[in-house]
Amino acid sequence: MPEIDAPPSPARKPSERAHEVRRGERVWVDYSHELRVQRNPVLRTMYFVLGWASVVFGAIGVVVPGWPTTVWILIATYFFARSSPRFYNWLMNHRLFGPLIRDWRDGKGLSRRAKTLAVTTIVLSIGTSIWLIPVVWVDLLLAVIAIVLCTYLLTLPTKPADA
């Protein structure tokens, strides 16, 4: 299927426009202009490996309650921005992770749905652990961790529904 250039997104200033290409129903945006790829091949390789390790940890967080996803994907974005234009663009255009990264970078915060899901998962998983573990100091530690995590998530900016 041939790739057709789409007009630049009007939301960006002319100097900040990235190259956009339509791929079926989705628009693929080239973010290569944002990169600072490391010239040192050893550092570039190290950043590349750390980027993939972070993606793996982020993927674990998708299925393991209480394991963070967002932080690991943001870390992977940082490392790929210094090592691989291909994988940086892959993350920025990813169906699940791309909107998360772009919203975080643009200061929009997390969606109400993401916050609700995260807080619910924390309360259920840590609450179950407290119920199953009969050690008082462990229960108190878990309760403090749950309160800190939920407070942090709830104080992050909430992305408006229309953005």
Interhelix angle for 112-132 vs 136-155, to 10°?
180
Q: What CA–CA distances, in Å, run from 117 to 70, 97, 113, 125, 133?
A: 13, 16, 6, 12, 24
Give dist(CA 103, CA 108) in Å, integer: 5
pLDDT tens for the chain, residues 1 to 163:
344 444 444 444 433 445 666 666 677 788 877 888 888 999 999 999 999 999 999 889 888 876 778 888 889 999 999 999 999 999 999 988 888 888 888 888 888 888 888 888 889 889 999 999 999 999 999 999 999 989 988 998 888 877 5
Provide the 8-state DSSP code for 3. -
* Total-model pTM: 0.63
Instruction: Scan for tokens 């080239």, then name that residue.
Output: 30
* Cβ 80 vs Cβ 58: under 8 Å: no
Nearest to 85 by CA among 31, 49, 47, 153: 31
Could you tell me which residues come within 8 angstroms of residue 157 by beta carbon, excluding any fewer than 6 positions away? 107, 108, 109, 110
* Cβ 75 vs Cβ 61: under 8 Å: no
